[in-house]
Amino acid sequence: MKKYGKYAVLENVSLSLNPGEGIALLGENGSGKSTLLKILSGILAPDAGEVRIDGLSGKQAKEKIAYVPQDIVLFEELTVTENLYAWSSLRGRENTDRAEYLISELQMESFCKKRIDRLSGGQRRRVNLAAALMGNYSYMMLDEPLAGIDEQGLKCVAKLLKDEKEKGTAMIITEHNPTILLPLMDRTLRFDGGCLV
């Protein structure tokens, strides 16, 4: 459970994620999806209840999680490539091969030398995803990573997620359009009256 002032969300929410599993998390705006992913990623602390990740609390396990925020968090005046390097050094993974791999997988070659503030919404969304994947992680928490992405982008994100799953990364992903996600994930959970069903 999380309290925003007097207002509480995520009462009676319980879920478990198995190794290598993919869960699609659906629910109306305001149902608490983003709050749940922030708690699972160790960004927010719950006011009641607890998170256990490989025996650790959400905060302790932060390093193991690639968190892709719903809001774009990038350095606007840096280029795409510079953003990836900046995020990798923040996460302790100085790896140029990884940046090249993500630029290629997400088909960002044509705009990787541009500054973030010169990109389209869908291009920014791809960089936002790549930046989160510069760390060393075994879990991914993806908050609407497909928002505003075009057809070509959807295909490469889908392939990337499929490859990650095959490597054993477990993930929870929120999205409004379940038809894109369902084939990729093992289970679907939906918020209904504050509970997950």
Ligand X SMILES: Nc1ncnc2c1ncn2[C@@H]1O[C@H](COP(=O)(O)OP(=O)(O)O)[C@@H](O)[C@H]1O
Binding site for Mg ion (CB under 5 A): 33-34, 70
- To ligand X, the closest distance from the beta carbon of 174 in angstroms equals 7
Q: How far apart are CA 86 and CA 94, in angstroms?
A: 9
What is the binding site for ligand X (CB under 6 A)?
4, 9, 27, 29-35
Query: Residue 168's binding partner, choosing from ligand X, Mg ion, none, with beta-carbon cut-off 5 to 8 A by kind?
Result: none
- The CA-to-CA distance between both ends of the chain, in Å, stands at 16
Closer residue to ligand X (CB): 22 or 32:
32
Biggest alpha carbon distance in the chain?
Answer: 48
User: Residue number with the shortest CB distance to Mg ion?
Assistant: 34
- To ligand X, the closest distance from the beta carbon of 183 in angstroms equals 23
Which structure tokens are listed for 167? 């490597």
- To ligand X, the closest distance from the beta carbon of 141 in angstroms equals 12
Closer residue to ligand X (CB): 15 or 117:
15
Q: How far apart are CA 119 and CA 149, in angstroms?
A: 12
DSSP letter at 174? Answer: E
Query: Residue 35's binding partner, choosing from ligand X, Mg ion, none, with beta-carbon cut-off 5 to 8 A by kind?
Result: ligand X
Q: How far apart are CA 36 and CA 49, in angstroms?
A: 12
- To ligand X, the closest distance from the beta carbon of 9 in angstroms equals 5
Closer residue to ligand X (CB): 33 or 165:
33
Question: Of 9, 18, 19, which is closest to residue 39 (Cα–Cα)?
Answer: 9
